């Protein structure tokens, strides 16, 4: 079901920027890209979402390519607490007008001291 | 203040038993979900409710019966528990309209022995 492709794992040094890529080449014009993360079996945590423009909040930045076929989540100064599985999700419509989040395998980010 | 709370946090039970998991949110959201995360860590949607109305019903055995007494509560009752039901069950909530992120609970770890 998932329409995104992410590397299974990445490493990052503490204090450096973590850049997590995601491919979503079949994304439709009205579909948003969402990023969530899951820290060691806790509930998934919403990070950021976007449609076309780049977005930034207190947690991260989201860079979406002009053709919208890929995006990058940037954690500007990664800390050990950012070690988690990061999910890139394209929000798909479902029956009755509802939309659902379909989770893929995600990227396991390990931040090293 | 817990935004999405699930009870119990852990549940160990024998095959064949019937059990319930409860979820409550105090965010004023009108849409709630149940997700299942199995041992391989895949997160799969099971059900969603909007204002007490069932919206999404994925391919889930009919031993699983969700109930939403009001828009702030979504419970999951499971009959005749099987070993394969062992998983972590997450509740989530959001607003029906707009592109808001989901807020997840901390999960209920169900172990069937």
| B11 vs B112: CA distance, rounded Å | 8
Is residue A97 over pLDDT 70? no
Alpha-carbon separation of residue A31 from A45, A68, A100, A105, B59 (angstroms):
20, 10, 11, 20, 24
pLDDT (0 to 100) of residue B51 = 85
Backbone angles phi, psi at A28, to 5 degrees: -90, 165
* Nearest CB to B45; choose among A45, A46, A100: A100
Residues in chain A closer than 8 A to B4 (CB atoms): 43
Instruction: Return the closest-CA partner of residue B45 out of B111, B7, B102, B113.
Output: B102
Q: What is the pLDDT of residues A29-70, one digit of tens each?
A: 888 899 999 998 799 999 999 999 899 999 999 999 999 999
Instruction: Return the closest-CA partner of residue B31 out of B17, B47, B15, B20.
Output: B47
Alpha-carbon separation of residue A32 from A93, B53, B100 (angstroms):
11, 25, 11
Q: What are B96's two structure tokens?
A: 């029906």
Flag if B4 and A96 touch (Cβ within 8 Å).
no
Q: In tens digits, what is the pLDDT along chain B, a chain of 113 residues?
A: 679 999 999 999 999 999 999 999 999 999 999 999 998 888 999 999 988 888 888 878 999 999 999 999 999 999 999 999 999 999 999 888 777 889 999 999 999 99
pLDDT (0 to 100) of residue A29 = 83
Is residue A96 over pLDDT 80? no
Shortest CA gap A79–chain B (Å): 22
pLDDT (0 to 100) of residue B96 = 82
Shortest CA gap B102–chain A (Å): 7
| B69 vs A1: CA distance, rounded Å | 30
Angle at A26 between CA A20 and CA A29, to 5 degrees: 100
Average pLDDT, chain A: 91
């Amino acid at each position: 079901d998932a329409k995104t492709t992410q590397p299974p794992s990445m490493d990052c040094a503490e204090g450096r920027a973590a850049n997590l890529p995601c491919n979503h080449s079949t994304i439709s014009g009205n579909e948003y890209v969402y990023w969530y993360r899951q820290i060691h079996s806790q509930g998934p945590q919403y990070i950021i979402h976007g449609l076309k423009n780049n977005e930034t909040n207190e947690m991260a930045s989201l860079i979406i390519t002009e053709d919208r076929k890929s995006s990058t989540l940037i954690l500007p100064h990664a800390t050990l607490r950012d070690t988690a599985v990061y999910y890139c999700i394209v929000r798909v419509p479902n029956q009755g007008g509802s939309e659902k989040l379909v989770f893929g395998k995600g990227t396991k980010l390990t931040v090293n001291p | 203040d817990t935004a999405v709370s699930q009870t119990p946090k852990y549940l160990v039970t024998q095959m064949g038993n019937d059990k319930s998991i409860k979820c409550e949110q105090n965010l004023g959201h009108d849409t709630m979900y149940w997700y299942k995360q199995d041992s391989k860590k895949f997160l799969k949607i099971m059900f969603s409710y909007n204002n007490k109305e069932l919206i999404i019903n994925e391919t889930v055995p009919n031993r699983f019966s969700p109930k939403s007494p009001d828009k702030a509560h979504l419970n999951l009752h499971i009959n005749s528990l099987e070993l394969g039901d062992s998983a972590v069950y997450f509740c989530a909530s959001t607003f029906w309209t707009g592109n808001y992120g989901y807020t997840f609970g901390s999960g209920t770890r169900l172990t069937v022995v």
